[in-house]
Structure 1
Amino acid sequence: MALFLSIFPIVLLIYLMVKRNPVPSYIALPMVAILVYLIKVFYFDADLVLVNASVVSGYISTLSPITVIFGAILFHRTLENSGALNTLRQWLSNINPNPVAQLMIIAWAFAFMLEGASGFGTPPAIAAPILIGLGFKPFRVACLALAMNSVPVSFGAVGVPTWFGFSPLGLSVQQTLEVSGMTALIHSVAAFIIPVIALLFVVEWKEVKRNILFVYISIIACVVPYFLLAQINYEFPSLAGGAIGLLISIVVANFGIGLAKVENAETNILITTGQIFKALSPTLLLIAVLVVTRLPQLPFNAMIQDKTEWLSFSLGYLGDFTITKGLVLSLNHIFATTISDNYRLLYVPALIPFGIVSLLTFFIYRLTVKEVHEIAMRTIKQGIRPFWAMFGSLVMVKLMTMGGDSSMVKIIGTSFASVAGESWTYFSAYLGAIGSFFSGSNTVSNLTFGGVQFSTAELVGLNTSLILALQSVGGAMGNMICVNNIIAVSTIVNLQNQEGEILKKTTIPMLIYGVIAAIAATFIVPLFYSI
C-alpha cells in the first residue's frame, strides 16, 4: 500500500496532463500537491508541523526557478523589443540559411556551453527564443530544446551535479573522476543518437539525412573535448566542450561543409560588424557574467555564495531569518522544526545575469520608459500562472522526499531496485530520471538517489562507479520530462496549456536514452575501464 500511494500521485499527475482534455499544469500540480499532503498526514502519519514546514520550504524553493523564468522572459522581451533578436536572426541566416545548421549551432553547441557555465535551465531559456526568432514553431522548439539539453547536464554549472551531487557518499577524488569519466562516456555514446532524434521534432528526416555530415561534425566537436576532459576534471567538460564545439560548428557552417545548399527565403540584408556586435552584446555579456561568477577559481563565485552571517532576526514561530554577506536569504527552524530553506539572490541566475544584463540592454538600445514599462508588465503577466505550477510541483517534491529512508521517493526507488536485483544496470538510469522528474535537477536527483544506487550496487555485486555514472546520466536525461523544465520552456516561448503534449513527446527520447545508457554501460564502458 505504501508503494501504491507513493506512485499514485505521479500517475495521476501524468494522466491529468496528457489526457484528451488536459488539465493545465498550474491547476494539476497544486491539486496533486494537496493529495500528497493528505497522504503524508493520514496514511504515513507524518507530523503535521513538519508537513506544514515542508510546504513553507516548498514556497521558498519556488523562488529560485520562478525568478529564473521571470529573468529569462525579461531578457527575451528586451532582445525582442530592442531589435537585437531580429538582427541576430538575420546574421544567423547569413552564416547559413540551412535550418539544420541553425538548430545545431544554437540548440546543441551554444546550449551545451551555456549548460556548462550555468545550469538552472538557462540553456533552453536562452536558445528557444532565438530559434523562434528564426521562424521555428514554438511547440517544436520547446521539445527540441528539452531533448537537446541532456548530454551536457551532468557537468552543468561547472560540474555541480557530479562533485556536489555525490558529495554525501564521501567518494575519493579518484573515484569521483572515475564516475565522471564513465558518465561522459555513456553520454558521448548517446550523443550520436539523441540530437538526431531531437532534430526530428522540428525538421523532417530527409532534411536531417541531407545534412547528416554537418550534424555529426557539430556533435563530435562538442563531445570529443567533453569526453577527454571528463577523464581528468569534473568541473569543465561541458563548458569547454560547448565552447570548442560552438566555434567549430560556426566555422564549418560558414563554409557550408556537410550542409545541403538552401536558398535564403528572406532578402539578404547586409549587416555590418558593428550591428552584429551590438546585437550579440547582451548575449555575450550574459555568458561572460555567467562564466565569471560560476568559476570556482575566481573570487566572485565565493563572494556571491559567502555564508558568513550579516544580519539575523526572529520571525517568531515562523522561524529565524538570516541574510549572509553573499545575500543568501534563509528561513531557518521553520515552525520550530529542523527544516530550513534559502534563496541565493546573487547566485541564482535571475538578478545575475538576466536582470542586470536586461537593464544594461535598456541603455545600450536606449529604450524609452514606456517600452521598459511594457516589457516589465508583459513579463509579469506571462509568469503568474507558472508560479502556481512551480509552487505545486516543489511542494509535492518536498513532501515526497521528507522522511529520509521512509520517504515516498525512497520507497519507490528501493522497491524498484529490489525487484531488479543483478539486472539493476539496465534500470538504474531510469531511477535517476525519476529523481529529475520530481525535482527538476540532476544535482538533487544525485543527492536523493545516490545512496540508494550505491548501496544497491554493493548488495548485488555491481561496480559502484558504473551505477553512480548511470544515476548521473539518468538525472540528466530526466531533464527532458521534468515538469519544472517543461513549464519554464513553455512559459518563455509563450505556449498555453501544452505541457502535457510536450511531456508525451519528450518521453520518447528519454526512454531511448535509458536503453542507450544500459547498452553503453554493458558493452562499451568495460572496454575503457576495469569493471
Structure 2
Amino acid sequence: MTKKRSMASQEAIPLCALVIYLISLFYYQFPAIEVHAKIISGLLSALTPISIIAGAIFLFRCMEHSGALAQIKVWLNGVSTHSIAQLMIVGWAFSFLIEGISGFGTPAAIAAPILFSLGFPAVKVAVFCLILNTVPVTFGAVGAPIWFGMSVINISENDLAGIAKSAALINAAIAPFIVILGLLFVVEKASIVFRNLLFIMLSIFACTLPFVIASHFSIEFPTVIGGTVGIVITILLAKYSIGIDSKDAEEDDSITKIGGLALLKASFPLWGTVVLLFVSRIEEFGLQQLLRLSQPALQFDIPLLGELSISVSLVFTLSNILGTQESWNHSLLYIPSILPFVVIGFMTLIWFNSASSGLALEDTKTKMKYPFISLLAAMAFVNLMMMGEEKSAVQTIGLALSSFSQEYWTFFAPFLGALGSFFSGSATISNLTFAGIQLSIAKQLSLDSQAILALQAVGATMGNMVCINNIVAVSSVLGLHNRDGEILKRSFLILLVYGVMAGLFGILVL
C-alpha cells in the first residue's frame, strides 16, 4: 500500500488476511474450526465500521444535496476566511467534541468532508484530520478507552485515575507539536510559525487545558468538556482575529452573512448529530441502556453457523459460531450509523424540502464499493492476528518488542499501544489487548506500572492516525480511490514523532 506504485487497500488487505490465515493453520496450528469461526466473527464485525462510514457518507451527501453545506460554508467564511482558522475550528475543536461524544473514528469522517468542501485538498485534509484525531481519543466516547479498556487488569480506582491523569497530561503536552505538524500538511510553514502561531496555541490550549483539568475529577467527560469549551473559544478567537495575521485571510467581497435562524437550520446536521449522540451516550438520560438491551426477543438456531438472537433494541448476537465459543455482537441502534447519521440525514432533507434521498443513497452505495471489501478483509485479519490470546501473533510481537528493549521499555511502551490501535482500529481494544502485557512487562522489569499503563493509553490514542479502519473511512467519505497507502505513509511519519516524544516524556517526567 505504501510503495511507489501502490496496491489498493481492497487488494492488499485481503492478501494480508490470506497470509495470516495460512500462518494460523500451518505455523500456529490452531484448530481449523476455530480459525474459520474467527474469520466469520471478523467478517460480521466489519458491519460496525462499514455502517459508520456509510452513515457518515449519507449524512454528508444529505448536507450537500439539501444546500445545508453551502450555507455552513458561508457561515464559516463569515467567521473567518483564514485557512488556519477554518482548519482549527473544524479539524481540531469540532473533532475534539465529536470524539468525546461518539468515538468510533467518526470525527475525521465528519470533519474531513466539511474542510474539503471549503476548498482544501482532499488527501491533505485526510492526513490532517487523522493526525488531529489522536489527543482527544485518550478518553474517547465517555471515557471508554480508559475505564473499559483497562478493565482487564486488576487495579484500584485511584490507580486508574492516576493513569488517566498522566495520559491526559502527556497528550496535552504533545498536542502543540502534533497540531503544528498536521497543519504543515495543509498550509505553508511561514503562515503557521511566523504569523499565526498565537492563534494556533490559544486554540489548542482552549481544548487541552479544560481536558487536563477535567481529568482530575472524571474519567468519562474530559474530552467532551475540552471540546465544548474549545470550540466556543476557537470560534471567538477566529471571529475577532485574535492571534491571526489578517494578511493571510482571503479577501472575498461576495461573502454574505446569514441570520441566526438560517444558521440554526443550516447547521442542524451538525448540532443535531451532536445532540443525538450526547443524549444516547450519557447514561443519566436512560437512552443508552435502552439502545443496548441485549435480552433476546427472538432466537434462531442457524444450522452449522450458530445461534442468532435479536433483542427489542435490535442488538444482534451470534453465539457458538461453528460450534465454538466464538461469538459476535452488533448493537444496530447504538453504533453511530442509523442513529444519528441516517436519521439526521433524512431529517435534514425533510427540513430543507429536498427530494434528494435517492441521490444520497446512490452516492453512498457507490462510495462504499471499495471500503466494503477492505473492511471485511481488515476485520478478518485483525481477528486472526489476535487469535490465541497469549499465544497470538499480536502478543508475540509485543513480547518480542519488550525482550528487545529491556530496561528501556518506558520509551517503547507507547509504540505497543499504537500497534494495538493499528491492528484493531480502536484505542479501547488496544488497551484491552495490551494493558495486561504492559503490566506484566512493568513488573518483570521493575518499572513504574502506573507510568507504563499511562504510556500504553497514550500509544493507543496516537495509533488512531494509522489504523486502517479510520484511513479507509476518511478516504471513502472524501471519494478518494487508491490513496490509502499514501495517507498511511504520511500519517506514519507523524506517528513516529508522537511516539518518540511520548517515550521521552515518560522517561523524563513519569
Aligned residues of 1:189 and 1:516 also touching (Cα < 8 A): no
Task: Return the match for 2:376 from 382, 388, 391.
Answer: 391
Aligned residues of 2:143 and 2:219 also touching (Cα < 8 A): yes
Q: Secondary structure at the match of 2:310?
A: strand
2:68 is the alignment partner of 1:81 = no
Task: Return the match for 1:293 from 280, 295, 299.
Answer: 280
Please list every run of at least 4 consecutive aligned residues from structure 1 whose deviation after the TM superposition is greater than 6 angstroms: none
Q: Report how far residue 374 of structure 1 moved.
A: 1.4
2:179 is the alignment partner of 1:173 = no
Letter in structure 1 aligned against 2:430 = S
Whole-angstrom distance in 2 between the partners of 1:495 and 1:321:
36
Q: Secondary structure at the match of 1:30?
A: helix
Task: Return the match for 1:357 from 335, 344, 365.
Answer: 344
Q: Report how far residue 520 of structure 1 moved.
A: 1.6
2:236 is the alignment partner of 1:251 = yes
Whole-angstrom distance in 1 between the partners of 2:34 and 2:267:
48
Deviation per CA, 1:360-402: give whole Å up to 9, x if none: 111011112xx21111111111102101100111111100101
Q: Report how far residue 325 of structure 1 moved.
A: 3.3
Counterpart in the other structure of 2:481? 496
Residues 266 and 85 of structure 1: CA distance in aligned 2, closer, same or farther (over 3 Å): farther
Q: Report how far residue 269 of structure 1 moved.
A: 1.8
| 1:92-103 correspondence to structure 2 within 5 Å | 92-103=76-87
Q: TM-score, normalised by structure 1?
A: 0.94
Q: Secondary structure at the match of 1:23?
A: coil
> Share of identical aligned residues, percent?
40
Q: Report how far residue 343 of structure 1 moved.
A: 1.1
Deviation per CA, 1:303-352: give whole Å up to 9, x if none: 11122222212112200001123321011000000000111101110011
Give 5+ residue unaligned stretches, structure 2: none
Give 5+ residue unaligned stretches, structure 1: 1-16, 526-531
Q: Secondary structure at the match of 2:299?
A: strand
Superposition RMSD in Å: 1.0
Deviation per CA, 1:377-431: give whole Å up to 9, x if none: 1111110210110011111110010111111111110111122111100000000
Counterpart in the other structure of 1:401? 386
Letter in structure 2 aligned against 1:360 = M
2:465 is the alignment partner of 1:480 = yes
Whole-angstrom distance in 1 between the partners of 2:76 and 2:461:
29
Aligned residues of 2:346 and 2:357 also touching (Cα < 8 A): no
Whole-angstrom distance in 1 between the partners of 2:253 and 2:148:
48
Task: Return the match for 1:114 from 81, 98, 110.
Answer: 98
Letter in structure 1 aligned against 2:106 = T
Residue range with higher mean Cα deviation, 202-211 or 515-524: 515-524
Residues 266 and 168 of structure 1: CA distance in aligned 2, closer, same or farther (over 3 Å): farther
Q: Report how far residue 215 of structure 1 moved.
A: 0.3
Whole-angstrom distance in 2 between the partners of 1:315 and 1:128:
41
Q: Secondary structure at the match of 2:339?
A: helix
Query: How many residues in Structure 1 have an aligned counterpart in Structure 2?
Result: 507
Whole-angstrom distance in 1 between the partners of 2:210 and 2:420:
28
Aligned residues of 1:289 and 1:353 also touching (Cα < 8 A): yes
Q: Report how far residue 252 of structure 1 moved.
A: 1.3
Q: Report how far residue 266 of structure 1 moved.
A: 5.8
Aligned residues of 1:111 and 1:123 also touching (Cα < 8 A): yes
Counterpart in the other structure of 2:257? 270
Deviation per CA, 1:60-117: give whole Å up to 9, x if none: 1000000000000000101011111111111111101111011011100110010000
Whole-angstrom distance in 1 between the partners of 2:294 and 2:156:
25
Q: Report how far residue 523 of structure 1 moved.
A: 2.1
Q: Report how far residue 505 of structure 1 moved.
A: 0.6
2:118 is the alignment partner of 1:131 = no
Residue range with higher mean Cα deviation, 311-320 or 111-120: 311-320
Counterpart in the other structure of 2:190? 206
Q: Report how far residue 44 of structure 1 moved.
A: 1.1
Aligned residues of 1:93 and 1:264 also touching (Cα < 8 A): no
Deviation per CA, 1:489-529: give whole Å up to 9, x if none: 0000111100111111101111111111112212233xxxx
Letter in structure 1 aligned against 2:303 = G
Q: Report how far residue 202 of structure 1 moved.
A: 0.5
Q: Secondary structure at the match of 2:284?
A: coil
2:289 is the alignment partner of 1:305 = no
Q: Report how far residue 19 of structure 1 moved.
A: 1.1
Aligned residues of 2:210 and 2:222 also touching (Cα < 8 A): yes
Aligned residues of 1:429 and 1:517 also touching (Cα < 8 A): yes
Counterpart in the other structure of 1:219? 204
Q: Secondary structure at the match of 1:313?
A: strand
| 1:127-526 correspondence to structure 2 within 5 Å | 127-209=111-193, 210-261=195-246, 262-265=249-252, 267-368=254-355, 371-525=356-510
Deviation per CA, 1:453-483: give whole Å up to 9, x if none: 0100011111111111111110110011111
Q: Secondary structure at the match of 1:427?
A: helix
Q: Report how far residue 173 of structure 1 moved.
A: 1.0
Deviation per CA, 1:198-254: give whole Å up to 9, x if none: 001100111112110000000111011100111221110111001001101111111
Q: Secondary structure at the match of 1:264?
A: coil
Aligned residues of 1:282 and 1:357 also touching (Cα < 8 A): yes
2:40 is the alignment partner of 1:56 = yes
2:18 is the alignment partner of 1:31 = no
Q: Secondary structure at the match of 1:213?
A: helix
